[in-house]
Amino acid sequence: MPRENRKRGKKTKKSQNTEDYHPPAPVVEENFDQNEAGPSWIVSAPRDSQVNDEAPFGYVDAEVKAYFRTVDVQIRDWQENEHLPEEEPDTDPNEDRRLFFVAALTEMSDKEKQLATDPDCSVILERMIYSMDDFARRVFVDRLSGSLEALVKHRFASHVCQTLFTTGVNTIARESKGIFPPAATSGEEGELRTLTQLLVDACEELLPSVSSLVMDSFGSHVLRALLVLLCPNLFPPEKSSAMRSKKSAAYKAKQGPLKSVFTNDSDAPVSRVPFTPKELLPLAPRFVRAIRENLSENEIRALAANQVASPVLQMLLEVEADRQMADEPGSLMDCVMAGLITALHENPSVVPEPSDYVGTLLRDPTSSHLLETLISRSPEHVFNVLWESYLKGKLARLAVHPVANFVIAKAIGRANGEQISLVCEEIKPVAGKILKSSRIGVFRALIDRVAALHTHEELVTECILVAFEISSDEDRKLVVPCILRLLPIKEYHTALEKVQTKPDGGENSTFKKRKPEDDPMEPKTQGAILLQSMLRLEAPHNEIVIDSILALPIEELLNTAYHATSSRVLDAFLDSPTVLSKTKRKFLLSLIGHYHVLVDDRIGSRVGDRCWAYADPYLKEKIARSLIPHETTLAGSFYGKFFARSLNLHLFKKNADEWKNVQAHNKLAAQPKIPPAPVPTSSVKDEAKDTDVPTSKSEKRKRKHRPEDEIDELFDNTLGKKIKRAGLSGEVVTKTKSTSSDKMKVEDVKDKSLKDILGAIQAAPKNDEKGHGKKKKRAR
């Protein structure tokens, strides 16, 4: 390229005029009167009024942040260590930890708001909250009072507030019982409020802004934690465990275990308040009323489809239904149902026209959860109108929908007998389509509901057989394998042929080693749950599953017991109260000769233990005799040796009678004690001759020394304390061996011939037993 083309321009020399030129200095305006400046509505904002959203209360000093990092390292080390320090006599094992923690709390004083809004120190505060005592927790909440609205909406401080409300349950429980920490000696700073009163004041502070907190991405989960604290009985731990978002829960999991450094109960759930204190009772309904007053009907309906606000609205609907506030015009439930409750109050006999808005709730992934809450918590007459307007005639389409099928399953859980019959009639033509789309929740809800109502079991069973294309008696034997794999009968045969044609396949190929999830012969969790529900049906409706289990070849039965998913079906078979005892005995007998193979597996050993726990002494003896040739194999098995310990074959071979007594004792000890039924006082005197109820003080004294249960009675009889024999006249004669003062009284026997025999026995010499013993010794 020519050189001239690369030139960017000629350099020009600066003239002297330009060098001497200086830009004019900015004009500094002096303070002048507002009237001279211009219009009155122009006001300059002072610099101090600007608020930093990231640190509304100021930044934390670098030295303070470095100190709390060392605190975090030390507390994390203590929390990850499962064992407390060794206790020495006359010393507190946690003394060093308490001193360290008091120093950290002292350094935190007057810096709580800055630390809570700091991205690094907020997690450290959460870790420290779990180890705070009641006094420190009350001080911490008191320091945050007055700024809760800003803290709740902050990205990092909101999680600190949520942790405070979650762990405050224990403190409120102790305060409700009158347990308070010792008061401070000096009263210079005033009286410290209890956490219950602090919670009341916090709700008063948050109530004016509750409508904005519902929509706030950081404040909504704090509001949920607050509702859980106000209504602990309404929201159990399994429902309130997902208070954090998935992203927040994943971040919290990376922080390691969060627990108290002074106790060892790391996995213990947070204790629940046995009852809500009277000061907290009116607070939850006030949040419901605040939403009603501050938001219009359209705004409330808009909350249903919002991912942030919908979970809070669900909890508010639960509170509204629990406090009997739902069945009234203008309620939250009425607004979400597009005025359905108002229309029913105006004219109960008229069925309103379906609303397009409620129809969209059925198919929306977010708002469908809200509709499930409406269906489960709505009054009975409102639910019937919902069924007639939005579900009846549409069940075939909704049961196949990927979102609406969950709502249908929830509605089936409340349906009556007539509605169950309608459901079976509508979904029977599309039962196969429901199976192919894996909407098994509808079938399971049907089975559970008819099991509770004890009606229409045959209709539900017929729908399931139609779904799996099972018609003949020969196909009924394959009900368990087909349902377990969620395959119709034809597809199951096709998949089975493919497995048998593989080089390493064949009839003996098992799924003892877990197969890939896309394998068609891999047992499915939904299929196992469906079989467990069917086993809880009343006889004879559960016989299709029972007959299929008993018809399984022994190889496939063992393979079923080896799998973590399919073994649950066998557990339900043994635990179900609707399965007859003779059927369970038949199942246990079919495994005799294969128990040593069954228990030689991680999952199979658990099934073997359950079989052994259910077996009666006769079955246990048969199982033990069948395992004598395999005693060495069981002892050398990694899993079978535990089964061999409960078997105790060494004692069985040595003394079978003593082994039976031990097994009977273990069986009785494992059974729960049932308290005796109370006897009416009016019928005691009339039935005293025919019953064992004592009617006099002397009889009560005698009954005090009777064994309380069957175990004591068994040992008393075997050891010879008391021997009860029935006399010829029908009376019971008690003979006690040990002392001469406890002889049997011949005068108590009314029969004359028996009296002569007993007198002769007592007059005979008493050295028979000793004499026989001496002869045996001499013979030896």
Give the CA-trace dihedral at 503, 504, 510, 512, to 10 degrees: -150
| Closest to 153 (Cα-Cα) out of 87, 77, 65, 219 | 219
**Cβ-proximal residues to 382 (8 Å cutoff; 6+ apart), any chain:** 327, 333, 337, 340, 341, 344
Predicted pLDDT of residue 773: 41
DSSP designation for 49 = G
Predicted pLDDT of residue 91: 60
Residue 391: which region, alpha, beta or left (left: phi > 0; alpha: psi -120 to 50)?
alpha
Predicted pLDDT of residue 238: 56
Q: What is the Rg, in whole angstroms, of the alpha carbon atoms belonging to the chain?
A: 39
Bigger pLDDT: 332 or 686?
332
Predicted pLDDT of residue 433: 94
Bigger pLDDT: 197 or 735?
197
606/608 Cα distance (integer angstroms): 5
Please spell the DSSP secondary structure of 228-255, one letter per residue: HHH-TTTS-HHHHTT-S-HHHHHHHHHT
User: Residue 105 above 60 pLDDT?
Assistant: yes
Burial of 215 (0-12, 13-18, 19+ CB in 10 A): middle
What percent of the chain stands above pLDDT 90?
Answer: 53
310/223 Cα distance (integer angstroms): 12
**Phi, psi (5° rounding) for residue 723?**
-125, 120
C-beta separation of 597 from 639 below 8 A:
no
Mean pLDDT score of the chain: 79
518/130 Cα distance (integer angstroms): 44
Predicted pLDDT of residue 723: 43
**Cβ-proximal residues to 776 (8 Å cutoff; 6+ apart), any chain:** none
User: Residue 735 above 50 pLDDT?
Assistant: no
User: Residue 453 above 70 pLDDT?
Assistant: yes
Q: Taking residues 635-658, what's their average pLDDT?
A: 88
Which token pair is 485? 């794999």
DSSP designation for 502 = S
Cα 360 to Cα 354, 366, 376, 580: the distances in Å are 11, 11, 18, 47
pLDDT class of 276 with cuts at 50, 70, 90:
confident
Kindly report which listed range (200-204, 269-273, 677-681) carries the lowest average pLDDT score: 677-681
C-beta separation of 301 from 335 below 8 A:
yes
pLDDT class of 670 with cuts at 50, 70, 90:
low
**Cβ-proximal residues to 281 (8 Å cutoff; 6+ apart), any chain:** none
Kindly report which listed range (239-243, 356-360, 722-726) carries the lowest average pLDDT score: 722-726
Cα atoms in the 13 Å half-sphere on the side-chain side of 391? 26
pLDDT class of 662 with cuts at 50, 70, 90:
confident
pLDDT tens for 213-262 read 999 999 999 999 999 999 888 887 655 545 666 777 777 777 777 788 88
Predicted pLDDT of residue 232: 84
Burial of 5 (0-12, 13-18, 19+ CB in 10 A): exposed
Predicted pLDDT of residue 237: 60
Tokens 């002096």 locate to 30
Q: Taking residues 526-534, what's their average pLDDT?
A: 95
Q: Taking residues 107-128, what's their average pLDDT?
A: 93
| Closest to 110 (Cα-Cα) out of 71, 57, 72 | 57
751/738 Cα distance (integer angstroms): 26
670/559 Cα distance (integer angstroms): 29
Helix, strand, coil percentages, rounded to 5, for the chain: 60, 0, 40
pLDDT class of 657 with cuts at 50, 70, 90:
confident
pLDDT tens for 393-451 read 999 999 999 999 999 999 999 999 999 999 999 999 999 999 999 999 999 999 999 99
488/481 Cα distance (integer angstroms): 10
pLDDT tens for 460-493 read 999 999 999 998 889 999 999 999 999 999 999 9
pLDDT class of 275 with cuts at 50, 70, 90:
low
592/573 Cα distance (integer angstroms): 17
44/26 Cα distance (integer angstroms): 19
Bigger pLDDT: 666 or 445?
445
Predicted pLDDT of residue 51: 58
Predicted pLDDT of residue 7: 46
Bigger pLDDT: 253 or 98?
98
Run of H or E including 732? strand 732-735
Tokens 């600007």 locate to 50
Burial of 753 (0-12, 13-18, 19+ CB in 10 A): exposed
Predicted pLDDT of residue 709: 52
User: Residue 718 above 90 pLDDT?
Assistant: no
User: Residue 346 above 60 pLDDT?
Assistant: yes
pLDDT tens for 559-581 read 999 999 999 999 999 999 999 99
pLDDT tens for 133-178 read 999 999 999 999 999 999 999 999 999 999 999 888 888 988 888 8
What percent of the chain stands above pLDDT 70?
Answer: 71
User: Residue 109 above 60 pLDDT?
Assistant: yes
pLDDT class of 533 with cuts at 50, 70, 90:
very high
pTM: 0.74
469/490 Cα distance (integer angstroms): 8
In order of their start, the domains of the chain are 62-78+96-182+190-259 (1.25.10.10)
Q: Taking residues 660-688, what's their average pLDDT?
A: 55
User: Residue 682 above 60 pLDDT?
Assistant: no
Tokens 């009155």 locate to 40
Q: Taking residues 91-108, what's their average pLDDT?
A: 86
Predicted pLDDT of residue 410: 95
